[in-house]
Amino acid sequence: MKSEPVLEATDIVKELGQGAGKVRALKGVSLSLMPGELTLLMGPSGSGKTTLLSILGCILAPSAGSVTLAGQRVDGLDPEALAGVRRRNIGFIFQSYNLFPTLTALENVRLALDVRGMSAAETVIRAETALREVGLGHRLQSYPRNMSGGEQQRVAVARALAGDPAVILADEPTAALDSENGHQVMALLARIAKEKGRAVLAVTHDPRTHSYADRIVRIEDGLISGEERRVETGENITRYDLTRKRKANG
């Protein structure tokens, strides 16, 4: 049976600023995220990818268009309701890790669970489980200053994973990492998508990430300009089929 999108944005328009300074950052973007897939969103600076990520993450509201998350329309919700939907369904991973330096790895992950109203005992269990899943069972009591960049980013991945979200959104997750750690983080995100059935979307400029993606979506000037999907051939060779998207007017 065919899976349904866990996150679907349709004809998204986003205008920023006011009056003569108003800019249309997104001009009618549609994007669906499927469970079990790692999607890369790529485009030059100013293309609208960060704005789109913020709308998909229920941080910004679109000026027009619809967003459906886990079967619920979320465009039009008030900020409090939107925050609740975000906490329940979305895990975020940031380029700069956003870890608290005075908290251990375990405490950093637990903090993200505390805002969900979980009991202290449950936050410990979930945080420990998530850190072990990303290979940091031996770093539970380590502080960020004593961990490598790759380990800090894996703590950030564990933090996103611990709340059991349907969608994980990553903003340039390898930009601050060397090649080896960048590959480790992307392999981890790909595994989470496959084994956990999550929809994972990563905004990236990093060409090292291509081989881990099920799909690459390209955005330019506020419009989806193309899409590449990985296809397994009969000879078990992986390739990408390029499907060009028709640009919308605007």
Q: Is 14 helix (H, G, I), strand (E, B) or coil?
A: strand
Q: d(Cα 98, Cα 156) in Å, to the nearest integer? A: 8
A 10 A CB-CB count for 248 gives 14
Residue ranges for the chain with pLDDT beneath 50: 1, 236-237, 239, 245-250
Q: Find residue 110's DSSP bridge partners.
A: none
Question: Measured between alpha carbons, how far is residue 218 from residues 40, 202, 206, 245, 250 in Å?
Answer: 8, 12, 13, 9, 18
Query: What pLDDT, in 10s, does the model give residues 100-159?
Result: 999 999 999 999 898 777 889 999 999 999 999 999 999 999 999 999 999 999 999 999
pLDDT of residue 240: 55
pLDDT of residue 242: 53
pLDDT of residue 1: 44
pLDDT of residue 125: 95
Calculated CA dihedral for residues 203, 206, 208, 212, nearest 10 degrees: 10
pTM above 0.75, yes or no: yes
DSSP structure class, residue 177: S
- Domains of the chain, CATH where assigned: 33-59+78-244 (3.40.50.300)
